[in-house]
Structure 1
């Protein structure tokens, strides 16, 4: 114990221990106070939950750094200890900031769920929040890494020399970083202009699916058969695609029927109307039956119906097709498509 008291670091270590304990106690008290004050604010509660571990690392590091700064300059290895603690503090603050952004994003998304009928505004808010949050986290990581590197004198010299010879290296670095920055800019454009949103129904490369996830570099499209299509963000800026839910989820669907020329159009129209009225998928906005084409063998009928979303539209179209086929087979089998063969009368001798 006498040797410990005689060590040049003894007083500073005891001060560091006391500062760490005080920082931990103060963090718990501050956290409890903030949670009590923010009981009615779910966004703040989400941020407090997200930053719990990061705050537990950052606040003691800050207390230790203050102790090292006040320590006597003649202590051995003090500069190294200060530098190491500074790096830990920068890392923990970067972690804390990213966790706070993630908590804020999660709180906004939970406040605006998309599992409702008319969710256009909720999907817009979720998409903007998610993309902007991911972009902000990337910026924070880059800034934290730069701050950590600048604490090394050699890194400063390297940075100066790189700036002095930025001609060739700048071009090479720009070419190498182009995909990263292109996706970053594309993400910002998507967040601002909103060509797509979470849960949008898209047709891309002939595939029908819903936007399941938007990351900082790509979009995950959930195909109807449970496959996933991964699409770079830049695709949505440079190439055309179909968005069935850009301004709303309501959609028109068509069911085509090929029948014989003897088909009773009015009977088909009445039966199609009955099928739609019995189907919960029909939203009662649009219904129409028209002859849209004629060939030498059949008549093309188009049934136009409306639904609240693409999934219901698909089910309604299938019901209309199945119902009309059964109706024709049962009531008007002669109206089903058929080939006519006429015998040429034989010439009398």
Structure 2
């Protein structure tokens, strides 16, 4: 009878701990949803944290139940060690899930209120990178906590601390480049030098910043390629940021034409074209003669657009329209080269004296 009771007690303890953990998770879930009921989509966005909360509650409940009913059993020590390790891992999982939920809610709240694209990109970059830094610290602490639960590891603590100076020097030399990238990533995010969705020109390629991590930056090039660069590249190498202050940008179109080109008619055609296209933002639109040497006249058109993508389309539209206008309306304006044919002078032959 005693053997049967000793076998049933662990089962009953596990069932009771599981039921209490489920009930506590449900109550906590309802309470949190009620507190944050005014936050849009909080219920759906925080659903990913339900599982780690249950695991944490279950580990706590199982350890309390086991300690109160079966602490004298010979298998209690390894089971207790597994429960403690599971609690640390579940707690780390819960913190990471909470950070992810907080990131989504903060970005949803502030990006909806902030209309300035520059501030929105800066907030997205800083919140995302901050979540990753805190997550890395939490994982590091969790691993350290798991190691400290092992008695053999705790006994080595004195020796490890004694040799900490030498270990730190060796580790610093070994991961010098990695640490430099980490600090560079933090510098990029919190000095506002580079933000997610910024338009940049790096390594001679035009692209948009897709992701900023603690060690590298992902740039989506215009042809959908992914350019992955270390964070130190952006702190040690000059690069172009077209959206650093504002996405608005200006660009130019240049044509080499003949001297017979009617500049006033081209200017009138340009103004009509700009007025008819939504790509132009109305800030700058002018046509000027910037050079007139070497047998050709250089026409330069300067226009502006709301962002680099629309500017590219606007420049292509202006170039095609001006070429078509010159070909059909003003063919004499097409660039050409001229040569002048001159006859050789005849040599003067002296006449004889009898013919004079």
Deviation at 1:47, TM superposition (A): 5.8
Is the contact made by 2:198 and 2:208 (CA closer than 8 Å) also made in structure 1?
yes
- Once residues 231 and 104 of structure 2 are traced to their aligned partners in structure 1, the CA distance between those partners, rounded to angstroms, is 22
Measure the CA separation in 1 of the matches of 2:227 and 2:44: 31
Is the Cα–Cα contact under 8 Å of residues 65 and 82 in structure 1 kept in the other structure? Answer: yes
Secondary structure at the aligned position of 2:343 is classed as: coil
Partner of 2:101: 103
Alignment correspondent of 1:316: 314
* Other structure's SS at 1:127 match: helix
Distance in 2 between residues matched to 1:344 and 1:110, nearest whole Å: 78
Alignment check: 8 A CA contact 1:47 1:102 kept? no
* Structure 2 CA distance for aligned equivalents of residues 168 and 306 of structure 1: 59
RMSD (Å) for aligned C-alpha atoms: 2.2
Find the structure with the greater CA-based Rg.
2
Q: Which residue of 2 aligns with 1:94?
A: 92
Change (3 A) 1:46 1:172: farther
Query: 2:195 and 2:41 mapped to 1: Cα distance?
Result: 22
Aligned length: 346
Contact 1:135 1:184 in 2 (8 A): no
| Stretches of structure 2 lacking an aligned partner (at least 5 in a row) | 348-356
| Deviations, residues 32-55 of structure 1 (Å, cap 9, x unaligned) | 232233222138546632311211
Q: Structure 2 length as normaliser, TM-score? A: 0.90
Match of 2:342 in 1: 344
**What is the 5 A alignment of 1:234-245?**
234-245=232-243
Whole-angstrom CA distance in 2 between matches of 1:131 and 1:43: 23
Q: Deviations over 1:284-321 (max 9, x none)?
A: 01112122233313122110001000000000000110
Query: Is 1:133 paired with 2:137?
Result: no
Question: Structure 1: 5+ residue runs without aligned partners?
Answer: none
d(CA) in 2 for partners of 1:167 and 1:191? 31
Aligned to 1:332: 330
Please give the per-residue CA displacement for 1:178-197, whole angstroms capped at 9, x wherever unaligned: 23322322222122111111
Aligned to 1:3: 3
- Paired residue for 2:354? none
The residue aligned with 1:199 is 197
Structure 1 residue corresponding to 2:23, chosen from 22, 25, 28: 25
Give the C-alpha shift of residue 15 in structure 1: 3.4
Correspondence for 2:350: none
Q: Which residue of 2 aligns with 1:84?
A: 82
C-alpha change, 1:72 and 1:3, in structure 2 (3 Å) is closer
How far apart are residue 87 of structure 1 and its match? 0.3
Deviation of 1:135 after TM superposition, in Å, equals 1.0
Judge which range, 235-244 or 164-173, deviates more: 164-173
Which residue does the alignment assign to 1:299? 297
CA contact (8 A) 2:21 2:54 kept: no
